[in-house]
């Protein structure tokens, strides 16, 4: 362990950051995305310090390959945009840069100032940026070129102690951003780390702040939970902290009135969703909504006794049930279609009926319907019995057919010209 010092306002040296080297943190370089390393290298080659930060560093310390890599630097968005042609600046309240590698996106942001309020574009240095982050385990900066971790807030100690500790004071942390409550739960479940007692008490006390969170941000967090592969455990923890009643109030009410049986079925659906996410086929947002809403639609909605569920009315019912979460209309439609196709199976087999199988009949039928085939005339010809032992005719390829039509047209024109000449004579 090395210590980096800087000069304070009084002119004296003060501790600036702790540096942990490869043999101390044990991060495996092969787990790091090569494109993330390329971005860091190019920024540093052009004179800009750059680091992998946040959840990616936490996952690397746990020995996991991160799904996403976030990078921070002192370069401002316009400068980053000039260095990477495959990039785009996004955001208004705080501008970020997305760098594209095929379908993959790596997000690059500029160090934020400690004086910035909300999401305003006020830039600062790396130490200020660290002090603005939510929890110690998310405020570690990793340089993949030097294989060093920079720690400004004792985040590495938090990691070793397996605790979720806030950097911002508990009085401010959730008032500034209520979504941090959901993140604390997610990080705790994902890592197995404990939430420190002051933070735990504050979450229970301020859970109602989540109701004032913008619907778009809340929706994004809910979908992250559903697609995490740990939705069952995260939702249970959210219920313990009284977050579920503000995140998905209609579902919380259904669980309250439905008792133990409703709770059992709800969490059984989430367990099946987690298994689907971990499977080869995975789960998109529409399928995640289907798992979330299945028991409501078939056991608690106004259409439980209906032989045929009216699609339009059921669609609106699901939209109302999900509030304040606001998924795209097409996602709700697809979720409802999936549920209606599996209604009988769900009622007899339970949550497993909603799973997608790799070799499902639906997939085979879809492939058969979309596969290119011969024209009707060719199919009819192919069915005709051949005479004199000859093989049935097959379709000519497009080039041969085109050549045949052109030659035939030329012969017709030649015969017409010859006939006109004879008549003239």
Structure tokens at 208: 């109602």
The region that residue 54 occupies, defined by phi over 0 for left and psi between -120 and 50 for alpha, beta otherwise, is left
Instruction: Name the CATH superfamily housing domain 1-161.
Output: Beta Polymerase, domain 2 (3.30.460.10)
User: To which residue do tokens 């362990």 refer?
Assistant: 1
| Element counts in the chain: helices (H) and strands (E) | 20, 11
Q: At what angle do helices 215-226 and 231-240 cross, to 10 degrees?
A: 130
Q: Residue 369 has what pLDDT?
A: 46
Structure tokens at 287: 């399928």
pLDDT digits (tens, 9 = 90+) for 156-191: 999 999 999 999 999 999 999 999 999 999 999 999
pLDDT digits (tens, 9 = 90+) for 60-78: 999 999 989 999 999 999 9
CA distance 202 to 244: 16
Q: Residue 250 has what pLDDT?
A: 95
pLDDT digits (tens, 9 = 90+) for 269-278: 999 999 999 9
Three-state secondary-structure class, residue 210: helix
CA distance 283 to 298: 21
For 128, other C-beta atoms within 10 Å of its C-beta total 17
Domain extents for the chain? Answer: 1-161, 166-364
State the pLDDT confidence band at 113, using cuts at 50, 70 and 90. confident
CA distance 374 to 311: 36
Q: Burial, 72: exposed, middle or buried (Cβ in 10 Å; 0-12, 13-18, 19+)?
A: buried
For 415, other C-beta atoms within 10 Å of its C-beta total 10
Residues marked active site are found at 68, 70, 134
- The H-or-E segment that residue 4 falls in is strand 2-7
CA distance 215 to 324: 6
pLDDT digits (tens, 9 = 90+) for 18-49: 999 999 999 999 999 999 999 999 999 999 99
Tell me the mean pLDDT in the region 128-149.
95
Q: Residue 358 has what pLDDT?
A: 62
Dihedral sign (CA 351, 353, 358, 364): negative
CA distance 336 to 310: 11
Cis peptide before 16 (omega within 30 of 0): no
CA distance 1 to 276: 43
State the pLDDT confidence band at 245, using cuts at 50, 70 and 90. very high
Give backbone dihedrals phi and psi of 64, rounded to 5 degrees, phi first: -105, 150
Q: Burial, 150: exposed, middle or buried (Cβ in 10 Å; 0-12, 13-18, 19+)?
A: buried
State the pLDDT confidence band at 11, using cuts at 50, 70 and 90. low
Tell me which CATH code domain 166-364 carries: 1.10.3090.10
Q: Is the pTM of this model over 0.85?
A: no
Three-state secondary-structure class, residue 73: strand
Q: How far apart are the first and last CA of the chain?
A: 109
Rounded to whole angstroms, what are the CA distances from 140 to 20, 184, 225, 369?
10, 16, 23, 52
Tell me the mean pLDDT in the region 140-156.
96
**1-161 and 166-364: identical CATH topology:** no
């Amino acid at each position: 362990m090395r210590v980096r010092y800087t000069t304070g306002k009084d002119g004296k040296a003060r501790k600036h950051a702790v540096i942990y080297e490869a043999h101390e943190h044990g991060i495996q370089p092969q787990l790091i995305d090569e494109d993330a390393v390329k971005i860091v290298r190019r920024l540093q080659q052009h004179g800009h310090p750059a680091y992998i930060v946040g959840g990616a560093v936490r996952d690397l310390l746990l020995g996991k390959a991160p799904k996403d890599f976030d990078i921070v630097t002192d370069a401002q968005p316009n400068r980053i945009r000039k260095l990477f042609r495959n990039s785009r600046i996004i955001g208004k309240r705080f501008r970020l840069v997305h760098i594209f590698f095929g379908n993959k996106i790596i997000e690059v942001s500029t160090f934020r100032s400690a004086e910035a309020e909300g999401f305003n574009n006020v830039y600062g240095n790396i130490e200020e940026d660290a002090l603005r982050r939510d929890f110690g385990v998310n405020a570690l900066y990793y340089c993949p070129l030097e294989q060093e971790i920079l720690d400004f807030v004792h985040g590495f100690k938090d990691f070793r102690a397996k605790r979720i500790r806030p950097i911002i004071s508990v009085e401010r942390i959730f008032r500034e951003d209520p979504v941090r409550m959901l993140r604390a739960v997610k990080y705790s479940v994902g890592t197995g780390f404990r939430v420190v007692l002051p933070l735990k008490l504050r979450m229970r006390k301020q859970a109602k702040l989540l109701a004032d969170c913008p619907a778009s941000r809340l929706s994004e967090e809910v979908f992250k939970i559903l697609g995490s592969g740990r939705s069952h455990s995260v939702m249970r923890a959210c219920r313990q902290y009284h977050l579920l009643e503000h995140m998905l109030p209609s579902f919380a009410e259904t669980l309250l009135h439905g008792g133990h049986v409703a709770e059992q079925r709800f969490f059984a659906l989430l367990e099946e969703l987690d298994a689907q996410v971990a499977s080869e086929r995975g789960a998109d947002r529409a399928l995640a909504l289907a798992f979330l809403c299945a028991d409501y639609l078939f056991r608690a909605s106004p259409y439980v006794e209906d032989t045929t569920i009216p699609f339009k009315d059921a669609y609106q019912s699901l939209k109302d049930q999900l509030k304040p979460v606001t998924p795209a209309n097409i996602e709700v439609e697809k979720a409802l279609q999936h549920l209606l196709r599996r209604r009988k199976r769900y009622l007899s087999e339970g949550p497993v009926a909603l799973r997608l199988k790799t070799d499902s009949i639906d997939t085979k039928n879809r492939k058969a319907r979309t596969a290119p085939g011969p024209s009707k005339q060719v199919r009819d010809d192919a069915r005709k019995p051949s005479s004199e032992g000859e093989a049935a005719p097959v379709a000519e390829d497009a080039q041969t057919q085109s050549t045949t039509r052109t030659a035939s047209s030329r012969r017709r024109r030649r015969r017409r010209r010859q006939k006109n000449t004879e008549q003239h004579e």
